[in-house]
Chains A and B, each alone.
Chain A
Amino acid sequence: MDEEKIVPDVEDTQKDKYLTFSLGEEIYGIDIRVVIEIIGIQKITVVPEVPEYIRGIINLRGKIIPVVDMRLRFKREFREYTDRTCVVVIEVNEVLIGLIVDGVAEVLDITEKNVVPPPELKASQNKYIRGIGKTEGGVVLLLDWMKLFTEDDRELFDEMKGDSSDAEAAD
């Protein structure tokens, strides 16, 4: 009802706003719209038989959500978690996922005209970069979160969105 009126406004205020986080030397940005919250690193329960970058699951106030180590996701070296390590909880297609990053920096305004497309390199990680944002202090790699969680897992998401009973029917 009222929400419909509110939503456009909210989107406007969130447009071009990016939460920046660091992974090693680089600064990445992610649309503030999908970010639910940022929490410190907490006890992760390991789940067997998942890709290494999925560190496991955590308890976010009663909700159990998977956490993905972004370093490992981008095939970097694993680094021990510290006090600065953060979990950025994002919501993609109504699924909550936690991203483990080295640290969260700030929220930046980067307008569309300050964003340039990434060079057409073959390096694999570029496919998850939507663009490169120019800021006063340097550049920010803008994460294509949709692609990031749908590329490898497209099947997965399709199944999730579709009738999940089909999947269950298989067994």
Chain B
Amino acid sequence: MAEPMVEVFIFETRQFLEQLEQIALGSEEQGGYSVEDVNEIFRAMHTIKGSAAMMMFDQVSTLAHSVEDIFFYIRELNPEKVDATGITDIVLNAVDFMRIEMDKLSAGGTPDMCSEELRNYTKDFLRNMKIENGHDPDIDLRKVKNTTKSPDEPVTSTEPPKKQYYIGAAKSGETATDTGSDVVRVYEAILFFQQGCEMEEVRAFGVVNNLKEKVIELHYLPEKILEDESATDTIRNMGFRLFFTTRMTKDEVYQELDHTIFLENLEVKELSSTSECEYWPSQETVAITALENSEPIKPDLPQSQRTPVTASLRTTVKPKPSADGAQMISVRVDKLDKLMDLVGEMVIAEAMVTQNPDIAGMELDNFSKAARQLHKINGELQDSVMALRMVPLEGTFKKMNRIVRDMTKKLGKKARLVLVGESTEVDKNINEHISDPLMHIVRNSVDHGIEMPDVRLEAGKDETGTIVLSAENAGGEVVLKIKDDGGGLNKEKILERARKNGIISKPEAELSDQEIYSFIFAPGFSTKENVTEFSGRGVGMDVVVSNIKSLGGKVLVDSEPGQGSTTTIKIPLTLAIIEGMSVSVGDASFTVPINYINRSFRPGEGEIFRDPDGSEMIMVQGKCCPVIRLHEIYGIPNAVKNPAEGILLLLEAGDAWFGVLADKLLGVQEIVVKPVPKYISKMVKTTGIGGCTLLGDGSISLILDPPQVYNVIYE
């Protein structure tokens, strides 16, 4: 991949883009841009502009500049009529453009897409906005600002404005003219840019960059083009002055510089020696300046923006930028895995020391004290390491806001997205892989589910449809639900289509609703007559299914005609942390996800009774629940046989209640679910073991999957 500099640029720009998108969406929803939002966007765009210019990505930097202008205008003149939606569109388009360019860049390409169209649109938009608000459309805001600050400064913006068109920066690819002369000459060049061409500092920087390769030594005034805010004014008023030594002839120099875009006036003077130059710093000064300038470009964003914003977008309270917010760093995942393994190793090593047979039975007060301390620290360490890989679904969820917004706008529908449980944490891997499937489903919901506003009104529903995206940790799974209140799935249409595609494998009368709905997950299946931009090609849903299956998950869809449909994604939480109750049975230990446990109690003598077939059951709260003995189904010796000496866990799996008999409770703890090694898991049939986990002492506990256990009973 690219150099570290480029990597940092990509990383930071992406962060800004994400931030921009969220602010823009949030502002649109609130119907306007608050002062903080405007400042935030302005700052972000400004930084992108600067760093893109540094990296010589003119298209990105000029686009950022044109967007920045809008916010500059809003910030300075505070116009009354602001088309929030229009502005949001512009910001989002710009964000998309830049995102594509960043993707290209990180894939090793060069960002070469032309942003002219977007820029012109943005410019026109700004013009119109100015006119609407009764301002001179060609007013130079930066000047206005400066004048208000120092009225003494002469205002030069009196000339009639020229029509402005941005042209992509000239490629510096032209072959350097062969000089044929070895004489080193000294030149002074003064460049004036056209009035109102804007971004003088960036243009000057471009000139310097183009010239660098062709000259021997180069100095320029103002010294700090990009860093110094007043540089723009200096360039405007005094011109951009270059002093350099080169082997080129005067004509060649003139030609070279004349290429510069938006050049108004160019003066090239040949000087007899460098001493004539107004500005020719000594080597030391250059070194010092270089040092000063070498500070990397840092995005100037308030810390709080970097931390995941927990408040939902809809909340009007914006998090205040604060200096002491949590900071983020990005770490390679394999480093985390390594750390995790090491901590696991340490826990075992600790057990080996503290439970060492050499010290068994000895009275070691001080040792025990120290050992307890070590144990405590180890425990905390383990917890923190486990939590490292977990990331909230928030970021992924919020991306959906954008999709809903764009689609409703284009389709002329009205819908809002409600996020529930976005703080649910899942393993990083899962978070990354869940994004595409979710996007497909949300798209489908808007496209196929939510009806047009008039249809909705007719049906007596709120004009605005609601899509609820929720996440929760349920037992051994993360359950994601996408629920819309649209028209629901059309069973007839699906059946018809399924018949046509020949994917019905059993008599139609025997198909359950569930089975019919699940046909939509078949490849190439779409009931929509028209292929739209967003969906209808029928490629979406089977991608969803295969993506989720690759995570070991399941997709279910349910629907209520006229009431909407719900898509449920269940993903096993490989590595996800759940709370589990550990129980011992003989020498073995099992862990039951705590949310399946209704309660646990010691059954009284004779409370458990048998039916004529010998199956055991117990009456709990007027319900007759089957009871299974773990030691029986798993063939564990040395277990407690008498129920009155053991403990009964009353488990709930869906609607089914059943009791599981174990020896004793070991306690509740947070566990990391690890899959059973495949070597074994393929040999065993469904045994009700959902995974395994490591207990604090390094021993392994098998995790029970209650719904599966329940099936075991009924086999």
Once the chains bind, are B550 and A61 in contact (CB under 8 Å)? no
Q: Is B311 engaged at the interface, CB distance under 8 Å to the other chain? A: no
Known A-B contacts A48-B635, A59-B348, A165-B546; A64 and B677 likewise in contact (beta carbons under 8 Å): yes
Q: Is A65 engaged at the interface, CB distance under 8 Å to the other chain? A: yes
Report which of A61, A96, A156 forms a contact with B682, defined as CB distance below 8 A: A156
B660–chain A nearest beta-carbon distance, Å: 14
* Alpha-carbon separation in the docked complex, A61 to B337 (Å): 12
Mask, B276-289, CB within 8 Å of A = 1, is: 00000000000000
Main secondary structure of the interface of B (DSSP, over half): mixed
Main secondary structure of the interface of A (DSSP, over half): mixed
Using CB atoms, name the residue of chain B closest to A166. B549
* Alpha-carbon separation in the docked complex, A59 to B344 (Å): 9
Once the chains bind, are B588 and A45 in contact (CB under 8 Å)? yes
* Alpha-carbon separation in the docked complex, A46 to B636 (Å): 9
Mask, A47-61, CB within 8 Å of B = 1, is: 111110010011101
Q: Is B345 engaged at the interface, CB distance under 8 Å to the other chain? A: yes
Once the chains bind, are B699 and A61 in contact (CB under 8 Å)? no
Once the chains bind, are A165 and B341 in contact (CB under 8 Å)? no
Q: Which A residues are in CB contact (< 8 Å) with B684?
A: 47-50
Once the chains bind, are A51 and B340 in contact (CB under 8 Å)? no
* Alpha-carbon separation in the docked complex, A64 to B702 (Å): 11
Known A-B contacts A46-B588, A48-B633, A48-B689; A59 and B699 likewise in contact (beta carbons under 8 Å): yes
Using CB atoms, name the residue of chain A closest to B686. A171
Q: Is B683 engaged at the interface, CB distance under 8 Å to the other chain? A: yes
Instruction: Name the interface residues of A108-165: CB closer than 8 Å to any CB of B.
Output: 153, 155-156, 159-160, 163-165
Using CB atoms, name the residue of chain A closest to B678. A160
Q: Which B residues are in CB contact (< 8 Å) with A46?
A: 587-588, 636
Once the chains bind, are A48 and B344 in contact (CB under 8 Å)? no
Q: Which B residues are in CB contact (< 8 Å) with A57?
A: 676-677, 680, 692, 700
Once the chains bind, are A62 and B341 in contact (CB under 8 Å)? yes
Report which of B348, B676, B692 forms a contact with A61, defined as CB distance below 8 A: B348
Using CB atoms, name the residue of chain B closest to A61. B345
* Alpha-carbon separation in the docked complex, A156 to B692 (Å): 20
Q: Which B residues are in CB contact (< 8 Å) with A156?
A: 678-679, 682-683
Using CB atoms, name the residue of chain A closest to B688. A48
Once the chains bind, are B634 and A48 in contact (CB under 8 Å)? yes
Q: Is B552 engaged at the interface, CB distance under 8 Å to the other chain? A: yes
Q: Is A43 engaged at the interface, CB distance under 8 Å to the other chain? A: yes
Mask, B632-664, CB within 8 Å of A = 1, is: 011110000000000000000000000000000
Once the chains bind, are B344 and A62 in contact (CB under 8 Å)? yes
Report which of B546, B674, B700 forms a contact with A58, defined as CB distance below 8 A: B700
Once the chains bind, are A59 and B694 in contact (CB under 8 Å)? yes
Q: Is A66 engaged at the interface, CB distance under 8 Å to the other chain? A: yes
Once the chains bind, are A45 and B699 in contact (CB under 8 Å)? yes
Report which of A43, A155, A169, A171 forms a contact with B699, defined as CB distance below 8 A: A43
Report which of A47, A58, A171 forms a contact with B676, defined as CB distance below 8 A: A47
Known A-B contacts A59-B344, A59-B700; A45 and B692 likewise in contact (beta carbons under 8 Å): yes
* Alpha-carbon separation in the docked complex, A48 to B689 (Å): 9
Q: Is A1 engaged at the interface, CB distance under 8 Å to the other chain? A: no
Q: Which A residues are in CB contact (< 8 Å) with B633?
A: 48
Using CB atoms, name the residue of chain B closest to A160. B678
Q: Which A residues are in CB contact (< 8 Å) with B694?
A: 59, 62, 64
Q: Is B162 engaged at the interface, CB distance under 8 Å to the other chain? A: no
Known A-B contacts A57-B692, A59-B344; A64 and B683 likewise in contact (beta carbons under 8 Å): no
Q: Is A70 engaged at the interface, CB distance under 8 Å to the other chain? A: no
Using CB atoms, name the residue of chain B closest to A62. B344
Once the chains bind, are B687 and A49 in contact (CB under 8 Å)? yes
Q: Is B335 engaged at the interface, CB distance under 8 Å to the other chain? A: no
Q: Is A63 engaged at the interface, CB distance under 8 Å to the other chain? A: yes
A165–chain B nearest beta-carbon distance, Å: 4
* Alpha-carbon separation in the docked complex, A14 to B546 (Å): 41
Q: Is A9 engaged at the interface, CB distance under 8 Å to the other chain? A: no
* Alpha-carbon separation in the docked complex, A66 to B676 (Å): 9
Using CB atoms, name the residue of chain A closest to B675. A64
A164–chain B nearest beta-carbon distance, Å: 8
Instruction: Name the interface residues of B347-363: CB closer than 8 Å to any CB of A.
Output: 348
Q: Is B685 engaged at the interface, CB distance under 8 Å to the other chain? A: yes
Once the chains bind, are B348 and A95 in contact (CB under 8 Å)? no
Q: Is A168 engaged at the interface, CB distance under 8 Å to the other chain? A: yes
Using CB atoms, name the residue of chain B closest to A65. B677
B661–chain A nearest beta-carbon distance, Å: 16
Once the chains bind, are A168 and B552 in contact (CB under 8 Å)? yes
Once the chains bind, are A47 and B702 in contact (CB under 8 Å)? yes
Report which of B341, B679, B686, B702 forms a contact with A95, defined as CB distance below 8 A: B679
Using CB atoms, name the residue of chain A closest to B340. A62
A169–chain B nearest beta-carbon distance, Å: 6
Q: Which B residues are in CB contact (< 8 Å) with A66?
A: 677, 679-680
Once the chains bind, are A63 and B341 in contact (CB under 8 Å)? yes
* Alpha-carbon separation in the docked complex, A97 to B680 (Å): 10
Once the chains bind, are B549 and A169 in contact (CB under 8 Å)? yes
Report which of A54, A155, A163 forms a contact with B680, defined as CB distance below 8 A: A54
Which 5 residue pairs of A and B lie closest in terms of their CB atoms, listed nearest first?
A62-B344, A45-B700, A165-B549, A48-B634, A61-B345
B binding-site residues for A, Cβ under 8 Å: 340-345, 348, 546, 549-550, 552, 587-588, 633-636, 674, 676-680, 682-687, 689, 692, 694, 698-702
Q: A47-B676, A50-B684 are in contact. List 19 more A-B contacts (CB 8 A).
A: A45-B692, A46-B636, A47-B684, A48-B687, A49-B683, A49-B685, A54-B680, A54-B683, A57-B677, A57-B680, A64-B677, A65-B677, A96-B677, A153-B679, A156-B678, A156-B683, A160-B682, A165-B550, A168-B549
